[in-house]
């Protein structure tokens, strides 16, 4: 349910070649206080909200707010140590590789990642000891907990489907949050030895049953008046469980973003999902 994460203007593209030096670099210095933070995609709706949140945080200092065409000196000049990326799927991976090369920790809310792109980042970040990269499908703490609750419930129900609802400016479907939720449900069902969810559908219009991720159906709704919402529906004979999370404003993502900025320097390598940062 991270549409709010990827609604920046499509003009935001990958950084210029000057932002991509060789991967080798000196050992990382300790993170100063307040944390020097850069916002990439700062003119987008999520980017503007990130800028405001960082500026309001007592333990952070916004040192750069950049968009298309940023270069290494835009971030290294003012001493950025953590960068928050809310851009577009076509730019996010290039941005992350550039940040790794610069020795800057990355917190990424842009959606549209596939397993191949994540694998490339995972391999790259191993070359730069100490650098942390977090790619999170959702930064709303309630949404993160909803995904965890769904994985906990999954082994106990015959049926499970996901419905994600977002504003019509969202560029990807299904949402990254819905995909992450479905993957968690599928993994929990597999670990419990459950087979496929029951579904006798043998004919119908294309797309009528939605997208399928690891055997779990996802249905996407796009409508004016929505921000970011998700329902996870579980069913057994005679009962139904619905887990729902609603984000009514982009500010709902900011506590999670700020938590990620604080935590990412102590989590080297690639982390997918904010849940790994909770409770440590």
Where in the sequence numbering do the catalytic residues fall? 166, 170
- Do 111 and 176 touch, CB atoms closer than 8 A? yes
pLDDT by residue (tens digit) across 152-181?
999 999 999 999 999 999 888 999 899 999
Do 141-248 and 3-139+251-275 fall under one CATH topology?
no
- The fourth-level CATH superfamily of domain 141-248 is Dihydrodipicolinate Reductase; domain 2 (3.30.360.10)
8 Å CB contact between 5 and 253: yes
Query: Looking at the predicted structure, is the pLDDT value of residue 36 above 90?
Result: yes
| pLDDT tens digits for range 197-234 | 999 999 999 999 999 999 999 999 999 999 999 999 99
Neighbours of 225 (CB within 10 A): 7
In a 3-state reduction of DSSP, which class is residue 266? helix
CA 140/CA 125 separation, integer angstroms: 26
Q: Residue 21 above 70 pLDDT?
A: no
Q: How confident is the model at residue 120 (pLDDT cuts 50, 70, 90)?
A: very high
Tokens representing residue 68 in the block: 């298309």
pTM of the model: 0.80
d(CA 118, CA 216): 21
Instruction: Pick the closest to residue 213 from 176, 179, 162 (CA basis).
Output: 179
Residue with tokens 């995904």: 147
Residue with tokens 């730069």: 128
pLDDT bin (cut points 50, 70, 90) of residue 86 is very high
8 CB contacts (<8 Å, ≥6 apart)? Answer: 41, 43, 44, 45, 46, 47, 86, 87, 88
178 contact partners, CB below 8 Å, separation of at least 6? 1, 162, 164, 213, 218, 220, 230
Say which range, 2-11, 105-114, 117-126, 261-270, has the weakest mean pLDDT: 2-11
| Mean pLDDT of all residues belonging to the chain | 90
What is the domain partition of the chain in residue ranges? 3-139+251-275, 141-248
Structure tokens at 226: 């929505």
Residue the block writes with tokens 């993160």: 144
In this prediction, residue 26 has a pLDDT band, given cuts at 50, 70 and 90, of low
Angstrom CA distances, 169 to 9, 93, 237, 252, stand at 10, 21, 38, 18
Beta-bridge mates of residue 217: 161, 212
Structure tokens at 269: 């390598």
Reported residue count of the chain is 280
Distance CA 270, CA 208 (A): 36
Task: Report the top-level CATH class of 3-139+251-275.
Answer: alpha beta
CA distance 30 to 80: 12
Taking the C-alpha atoms of residue 238 and residue 201, their distance in angstroms, rounded to an integer, is 21
Residue ranges in 169-229 assigned as alpha helix (H): 176-191
**What percent of the chain stands above pLDDT 90?**
80
Element containing residue 120 per DSSP (H, E): helix 115-125
Q: Are strands 132-135 and 269-272 parallel, antiparallel or unpaired?
A: parallel
Instruction: Say what the pLDDT of residue 19 is.
Output: 42
């Amino acid at each position: 349910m991270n549409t709010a994460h990827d609604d920046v203007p499509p003009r935001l593209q990958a950084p210029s070649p000057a932002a991509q030096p060789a991967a080798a670099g000196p050992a990382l210095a300790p993170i100063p206080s307040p944390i020097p933070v850069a916002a990439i995609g700062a003119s987008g709706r999520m980017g503007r909200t990130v800028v405001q949140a960082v500026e309001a945080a007592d333990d952070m200092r916004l040192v750069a707010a950049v968009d298309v065409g940023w270069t290494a000196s835009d971030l290294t000049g003012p001493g950025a140590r953590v960068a928050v990326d809310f851009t577009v799927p076509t730019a996010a991976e290039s941005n992350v590789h550039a940040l790794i090369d610069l020795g800057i920790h990355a917190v990424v809310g842009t959606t549209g990642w596939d397993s191949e792109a994540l694998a490339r980042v995972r391999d790259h970040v191993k070359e730069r000891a100490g650098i942390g990269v977090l790619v999170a499908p959702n930064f709303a703490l309630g949404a993160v907990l909803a995904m965890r609750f769904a994985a906990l419930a999954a082994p106990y129900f015959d049926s499970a489907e996901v419905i994600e609802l977002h504003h019509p400016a969202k560029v990807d479907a299904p949402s990254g949050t819905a995909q992450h939720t479905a993957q968690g449900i599928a993994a929990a069902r597999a670990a419990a030895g459950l087979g496929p969810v029951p579904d006798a559908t043998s004919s119908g219009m294309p797309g009528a049953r939605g997208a399928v991720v690891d055997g779990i159906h996802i249905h996407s709704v796009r409508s004016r008046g929505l921000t970011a919402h998700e329902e996870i529906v579980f069913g057994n004979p005679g009962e139904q469980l619905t887990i729902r999370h609603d984000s009514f404003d982009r500010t709902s993502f900011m506590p999670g973003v700020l938590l990620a900025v604080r935590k990412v320097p102590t989590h080297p390598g690639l982390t997918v999902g904010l849940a790994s940062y909770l409770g440590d």
